[in-house]
Structure 1
Amino acid sequence: MEGLTSFLPFIAIFAVMYFFMIAPQMKRAKQEKKFASALKRGDKIITKSGMHGKILDLNDKDNSCVIETLAGKIKFDRSAISMEMSKKLNAPETKK
């Protein structure tokens, strides 16, 4: 019984770490993967580096997309697209 009680704090620490760190990170990764797979032509997006553009073409072979910007066309990996900023960009504007 003493052996179990000595490991109880470690088990509690692991449980807290799981519920506050690991589980939310796994949920976020799943959401980002779903967002990247739901992209379609014509979507206005913002990359994680801050570049604005519109999706011209999607390539499922190498998981990339071609984005049209003011400077021209650029090929990006789908994981380089910011989920939060792109959702804000495509959200309907509300009048104040």
Structure 2
Amino acid sequence: MGGGTLASIIPLILMFVIFYFLLIRPQQKKQKKVQQMQSELQKGDKIITIGGLHGTVHALDEGTLVVEGQDGTKLTYDRSSVREVVNKD
């Protein structure tokens, strides 16, 4: 009985290990990279938000930033809304 149970559990464990290395671990690495990018934002960085706004970082606070749009408008966003830094000045 014990051997049959072990033989039926091994494929489940193997599937979990494969699932971890193919899906969970790469997602964690990507999330860590995005968080690092958002924490390293500086005034003057050209960014794109999750919503697609292209602008320049005008001011920074602990959890928020003020983005100056191309038309000169200034909007306040959470740091987590920044999708990518286009280039640094």
- Which structure 1 residue ranges, 5 or more long, are not aligned? 92-96
Instruction: Indicate the RMSD between aligned Cα atoms, in angstroms.
Output: 1.3
Bigger RCO (CA 8 Å, 6+ sep): 2
Taking the aligned partners of 1:38 and 1:24, their CA distance within structure 2 comes to 21
Q: How big is the shift at 1:43?
A: 0.3
Give the number of the structure whose residues are more often strand, by fraction.
Answer: 2
Which residue does the alignment assign to 2:75?
74
Please give the per-residue CA displacement for 1:30-62, whole angstroms capped at 9, x wherever unaligned: 1011000000000000111110100011111xx
Residue identity over aligned pairs, in percent, reads 36
Taking the aligned partners of 2:27 and 2:43, their CA distance within structure 1 comes to 28
User: Which amino acid in 2 is paired with 1:43?
Assistant: D
TM-score in terms of structure 1 length: 0.83
Q: Which runs of 4+ in 1 moved over 2 A?
A: none
- Which structure 2 residue ranges, 5 or more long, are not aligned? none
Equivalent pairs, count? 85
